[in-house]
Structure 1
Amino acid sequence: MADHRIIAAGLTRQKYRGLVYGIAGLAILGLLAGFVLDQHFAGTIIYLLGAWTAGGIAVLAPMLSEATLQDERDWELHNRASGILIGVTMLIGLSMLPALYVLDAGSYIEITGTVSGVIFTLSALFLLYGVCLGIAKRRI
């Protein structure tokens, strides 16, 4: 069986990060340029190609390279950032959503489609987090 690690030979941690962030940055610029130039479809295609390419490199390069592209510091930082994101979102959601529903029921405010979309998105985020946490627990 062939060793696929030679594909990423010579890839350093700095080149890896520069490549992933560079492609992602170009993808975002392509999306913005498409918006500014009224070429929404072309901008979207550029963005999607760049995002999938950067994501693919971010996932596959550490598996295919002999160099250490990610270590425990990266995982610790990722875990801390994820925990802070979920905690802040939970704090804002739990402190505001019940009040919004009570005010809506009393006809003081109206929950618009946009607000309903945000509530749905946050709910989906927490459900997905719970599923991912369950998968992670089973794998450990």
Structure 2
Amino acid sequence: MTATNTSSKLTRQRYRGLVYGIGGLAILGLLAGFILNQHFVGTLIYLLGVWIAGGIAVLAPMWSEATLQDERDWELHNRASGILVGITMVFGLSILPALYVLDAGNYIEITGIASGVILTLSALFLLYGVCLGIAKRRI
């Protein structure tokens, strides 16, 4: 007697629908929590949803026998990442030094929000550099 695989294979369409569907429900849960003044519950639903969707997005391609991602996905991801980093770099290099000079001349004051944006952009570029270094070592 041969064993047959009775479980349905995860297809590309189901994979994307599952990940985006759970992510969408998570966002709706967050918005509903905000509207209903149940911020903690909305945040909990959101965090659970994005962690579940993220887990599926990362683990399903490793465990599934079906091809859920291919070179088209990787090319799109690489292009989008390059565009993001490029836009952020142009924004950062064109605006941030000028802000510091204007702050030093007492023309403007860099507030807590602006400092947070600067730290976030700096952390993004540091993280990108670390990830680029890891990717170079693995190739």
| TM-score, scaled to structure 1 | 0.93
Q: Distance between the aligned counterparts of 2:74 and 2:21, measured in 1? A: 21
User: CA offsets per residue over residues 71-124 of structure 1, 9 Å max, x none?
Assistant: 000000000000000000000000000000001111111100000000000000
SS of residue matched to 1:109? coil
Following the alignment from structure 2 to structure 1, what is the Cα–Cα distance between the partners of residues 124 and 35?
A: 31
Match of 1:38 in 2: 37
Q: How far apart are 1:66 and its partner, in Å?
A: 0.9
State the partner residue of 2:119: 120
2:106 and 2:59 mapped to 1: Cα distance?
A: 52
For 1:92 and 1:52, locate their aligned partners in 2 and report how far apart those are by CA, in whole Å: 30
Return 5+ residue gaps in structure 1 as ranges: 1-5
Provide the residue aligned with 1:15 in structure 2: 14
Spell out the pairing of 1:1-140 with structure 2 (5 A cutoff). Answer: 9-140=8-139
1:64 positional shift: 1.0
Give the distance between the partners of 2:56 and 2:122, measured in 1 at CA: 30
3-state SS in 1 of match to 2:77: helix
Matches of 1:64 and 1:53, distance apart in 2: 15
What's the offset of the Cα at 1:10? 1.5
1:13-72 per-position Cα deviation (integer Å, ceiling 9, x unaligned): 001000000000000110111111111100010001000000000011111111110000
Aligned residues: 134
Tell me how large the CA RMSD over aligned residues is: 1.1
Aligned partners of 2:19 and 2:136: how far apart in 1?
29
Highest relative contact order (Cα 8 Å, sep 6+), 1 or 2?
1
Q: In structure 2, the residue corresponding to 1:47 is in which secondary structure?
A: helix
CA distance in 2, matches of 1:57, 1:127: 27
1:9 and 1:65 in contact (8 A); partners too: no
Runs of 4+ in 1 over 3 A off after TM superposition: none
